[in-house]
Amino acid sequence: MAPVPQQIPSTNSGDLAEPPPAWKTRLLLVDDDEGNLLSLQATLEDLVDELVLAQSGEDALRHLLDTDFAAILLDVKMPGMDGFETAGLIRNRKKSQTTPILFLTGFRSDDHLFRGYDLGAVDFLFKPISPEVLRSKVAVFVELARNTTLLRQNAEVLARAERRFRSLLEAAPDAILITNESGAINLANTRAEELFGRPRELLHGVSLKTLVPDWTEMAQIHSIELTGIRRDGSEFPCELTCSPLQTDEGLLITTAVRDITERRKAEENIRRLNSELEQRVATRTLELTRSNEALRQFAWAASHDLQEPLRIVVSYAQLLTRRTENLDDQSRGFLDTIVNGALRMERLLASLREYVFASDAGSEETEIVDANGLIEKVLSDLDLALKSSDAEVECAPLPTLTSVPALLSQVFQNLIANAVKYRAAAPLRIQISAERRTRDWLFGVSDNGIGISPEYHELIFGVFKRLHPHSIPGTGIGLSICKVAVERLGGQIWVESELGKGSVFKFTLPFNET
Amino acid sequence: MAEEEKRRHRIALVEDSDEDVFLIQEASRKFSNEIHFVRFTTAESAIAGLTNPGSLPLDGIMLDLNLPRGSGLEVLNAIRRSDGLRSSRVVVLTSSGSARDRAAAEALGIRAYIEKPTGLDEFERAVEQALDELLIA
């Protein structure tokens, strides 16, 4: 339940300070004799900020309507209302009930004195009045008035601060309990009343342990999650944050109690959603792995099963060619087309098998491979093609590394075969290099062939992506096999090339710590 | 005995593909006129026929592995278990490129494992190589 926003009274900084400059020390001098008044004025005017002169009781009372005085000097003997009568009326007024009254009189009589004190006089001064005595007595009351005002103002500031504090406390969204060291509650705010189902009067003096059984005096640091108990006995999860404060009255602890039922629910929801998500991901991954595996097996089987009929087509077409030596050139051409078509199909199937093999997600055993020996074998396998294109192969010393020999062979074989296929008019030069880097090997196969325009640099690694007509033999799978094989080995492959400027195929193989 | 059967060499040919049988026969004629093939088209019939005590002696066996209702390896197994045939010369001429098949066949003992190549000339060379292993080498 959201707390009702409360109006927090705006205050000044609340510092306990000197009385504001507006406050002035004032004296009221009441005497029917103007001469006396002036004389008093002369004696006292430097003691106070303001001197108010009145020549009658009525006058005095009128002044007292709107002004506060530090003290009143009252002549007893006045025509009309005398001093005593005036004093009585002064005392009747709430405002001036406690204003110090000093009677000025020439009359020294016990009766007088008695009556005067009875009326609340604080002192009598007998004429002729000694100025020094007068001054010292008045000074006392001025000081007193000043101090009283100061005290009152400080109390006012304190009260304001207290009100502000309480407003903040009440406006707090969390239940706030202020306790002593041993957990006995001194103060509780509205939210605390709501949370624990008790009015604050009933919470006073109660131990925090009653509300949060697992609370200990040690739980005075930071935040801790415990269980709170409502009045009806039901439990709820809560978070306690304690701050101790050393005061003159001893150690006070402010404890904020937050009901985290909602938060717990949300956390639980998230946890549940996460685990559901993980579950779904795991299931999906399994499905994908299975379907991948199924596809792979299908591709493998298909490529084998498709091979057979092809072989028969080629063999019988060639048989026919042999038997029909008298056939016209065009018909022979037709037969050649049949054979070539079938042979191309066969190469595609072989490439498909290579692709499937290279992309096999199963763990292929790595071993220590001497790349020099590997390259020798590849070059010897391609010997016919290399010789017929008059190619010169320059091979830098290659490293011995941990890898999968079959895949590595496949990559080099395809790259070198490509160099042969896509050679230019100039005699073919192929260079094979290897560079040791911080975290991997960087291999390079470069040629001086026809090159590849930059806009195709990524395309060529896609399956069945050929840039050239069928006059240049090729399945369009060779480079995608390289890519899939290199990536299986943990590396990356790319080409640097421009049309007419040859090509450099580079690939990385990360170091394999065995 | 029929004229054919008087020829000097008898070779069992376990092969289900008629097309391949024709090609093999064409190729063998180039090699020698004296070869007589005893043909089996299934593993079952091959095992039955070969292990039959009444069957005539053979100079060698040419075996395809991809057969209907059973595999050439079963035939090979049966051959190696039979007293009379245990030491026969066997060449596998098959379209299977499986390394597992190759290893299994070699474990049972064969003269050669030849994958049927595409291309007529190549096929003929393969048949010649097989016959060489069975009859001469």
Q: Give the highest mean pLDDT range of A216-220, A309-313, A505-509.
A: A505-509
Q: What does the pLDDT look like over A102-161, one tens digit per residue? A: 998 887 877 877 887 887 777 888 888 888 999 999 999 889 888 988 898 999 999 999
- The C-alpha of A323 sits at a distance from chain B's nearest C-alpha, in angstroms, of 12
In 3D, which of A404, A450, A437, A455 has the Cα closest to residue A506?
A437
Between CA A238 and CA A226 the distance in angstroms is 6
- Is the model's pLDDT at B112 over the cut of 70? yes
Q: What does the pLDDT look like over A216-264, one tens digit per residue? A: 776 566 778 888 888 888 898 988 888 888 888 788 888 888 989 999 9
Q: Closest residue of A to B124, CA-based?
A: A315
- What's the rounded mean pLDDT across residues B45-71? 89
Tokens encoding A383:
């010997």
Residue B95 has φ and ψ, to the nearest 5°, of -90, -5
**Confidence category of residue A502, pLDDT binned at 50, 70, 90:** very high
Neighbours of A322 (CB within 10 A): 10
- Is the model's pLDDT at A76 over the cut of 80? yes
- The C-alpha of A319 sits at a distance from chain B's nearest C-alpha, in angstroms, of 7
CB spacing of B19 vs A316 below 8 angstroms: yes
- Is the model's pLDDT at B2 over the cut of 70? no
B100 CB within 8 Å of a chain A CB: no
Q: Which of A55-69, A189-203, A253-267, A465-479 has the lowest mean pLDDT?
A: A465-479
Contacting residues of A for B65, CB less than 8 Å apart: none
- What's the rounded mean pLDDT across residues B19-41? 93
Neighbours of A277 (CB within 10 A): 10
**Confidence category of residue A20, pLDDT binned at 50, 70, 90:** low
- What's the rounded mean pLDDT across residues A178-205? 88
- A257, burial (CB in 10 Å: exposed 0-12, middle 13-18, buried 19+): buried
- CA distances A101 to A40, A49, A107, Å, are 15, 18, 17
Closest in B96, B97, B123 to A315, CB measured: B123
B119 CB within 8 Å of a chain A CB: yes
Instruction: Tell me the residues of A at the B interface, defined by beta carbons under 8 Å apart.
Output: 304, 307-308, 310-312, 314-316, 318-319, 322, 342-343, 346
- Is the model's pLDDT at A281 over the cut of 70? yes
At A173 the pLDDT is: 85
Closest in B26, B97, B119 to A314, CB measured: B119
Select from A307, A311, A357 the residue whose CB has the most chain B CBs within 10 Å, as the one to mutate to test that interface.
Answer: A311
- Is the model's pLDDT at A21 over the cut of 60? no
At B3 the pLDDT is: 56
Give the three-class secondary structure for A85: helix
At A366 the pLDDT is: 83
At B85 the pLDDT is: 86
At A119 the pLDDT is: 78
- Is the model's pLDDT at A469 over the cut of 80? no
Q: Give the highest mean pLDDT range of A160-169, A250-259, A412-421.
A: A412-421
More confident: A13 or A341: A341
In 3D, which of A261, A264, A254, A167 has the Cα closest to residue A208?
A254
At A465 the pLDDT is: 66
**Confidence category of residue B127, pLDDT binned at 50, 70, 90:** very high
Contacting residues of A for B96, CB less than 8 Å apart: 304
CB pairs under 8 A between A and B: 34
- What mean pLDDT, rounded, does chain A reach? 86
Contacting residues of B for A310, CB less than 8 Å apart: 118
- CA distances A405 to A350, A394, A408, A432, A505, Å, are 19, 21, 5, 17, 19
B97 CB within 8 Å of a chain A CB: yes
At A295 the pLDDT is: 82
- The C-alpha of B62 sits at a distance from chain A's nearest C-alpha, in angstroms, of 18
Whether pTM exceeds 0.80: no
Closest in B19, B96, B120 to A318, CB measured: B120
Between CA A350 and CA A305 the distance in angstroms is 12
At B84 the pLDDT is: 81
Residues 6+ apart with CB under 8 A from A243: A253, A254
Q: Closest residue of B to A322, CA-based?
A: B120
Between CA A391 and CA A124 the distance in angstroms is 136
Give the CB-side neighbour count of residue B110, counting CA atoms within 13 A: 26
Between CA B91 and CA B95 the distance in angstroms is 13
CB spacing of A315 vs B97 below 8 angstroms: no
Closest in B26, B96, B118 to A311, CB measured: B118
- What's the rounded mean pLDDT across residues B4-13? 77
- What's the rounded mean pLDDT across residues B79-91? 89
- What mean pLDDT, rounded, does chain B reach? 89
CB spacing of A314 vs B120 below 8 angstroms: yes
